[in-house]
Amino acid sequence: MTLRLSNRWGCAILLAVLVVPGLLTAYFLHSFVWALVVPAGSITLMFAIAALPSKRKITLEEFANELERHLLGSEGEMDWDDVTSVSISDTRLERLRLSFGPRFDSLARQEDRNELSSIIAALRRGEVPDVKP
């Protein structure tokens, strides 16, 4: 019940953010066309901003900390998804991130845990290891 209610509020807020500025603009400029142009322009702007390439700027130590939180299981709900799916501006770390694939997702095997631990140790030493995908 709470999930449905929160989804309804989210939709209502989204509609209000899109429609209200258009209605206000149409009222003050005395033309209904603005009630359609402003929401369409807002949606276009949102898509344009979302399409911009955004890469995380992260140090070796910060990346090691993120990996260690995953290894210890002390990360937040979406932290591992951010680690594996958001591009990194440092090309060495980006290659390392791409090599992870799904194998470190669950860390059910001890070999995966050991390998991730050795990657963390190398990052803390200032090295970026070559990992086979």
Domain boundaries of the chain, sorted by first residue = 2-51, 60-124
11: exposed, middle or buried (Cβ count in 10 Å: 0-12, 13-18, 19+): exposed
**89: DSSP letter:** S
Please state, in angstroms and rounded to a whole number, the distance separating the CA atoms of residues 118 and 96: 13
Q: Specify the pLDDT at position 5.
A: 55
pLDDT digits (tens, 9 = 90+) for 85-129: 888 998 899 999 888 878 888 888 888 889 989 999 999 999 888
80, β-bridge pairs: none
Please give the C-alpha separations between residue 104 and each of 42, 66, 99, in angstroms, as whole numbers.
39, 13, 10
pLDDT tier, 1 (very low <50, low <70, confident <90, very high otherwise): very low
pLDDT digits (tens, 9 = 90+) for 3-53: 555 677 888 888 888 899 999 999 999 999 999 999 999 999 989 988 887
> Against a cut of 0.75, is the pTM above it?
no
Please state, in angstroms and rounded to a whole number, the distance separating the CA atoms of residues 7 and 14: 10
Average pLDDT of the chain?
86
Q: Specify the pLDDT at position 73.
A: 83
Please state, in angstroms and rounded to a whole number, the distance separating the CA atoms of residues 41 and 22: 10
Please state, in angstroms and rounded to a whole number, the distance separating the CA atoms of residues 113 and 103: 10
Question: What is the three-class DSSP state of 9?
Answer: helix
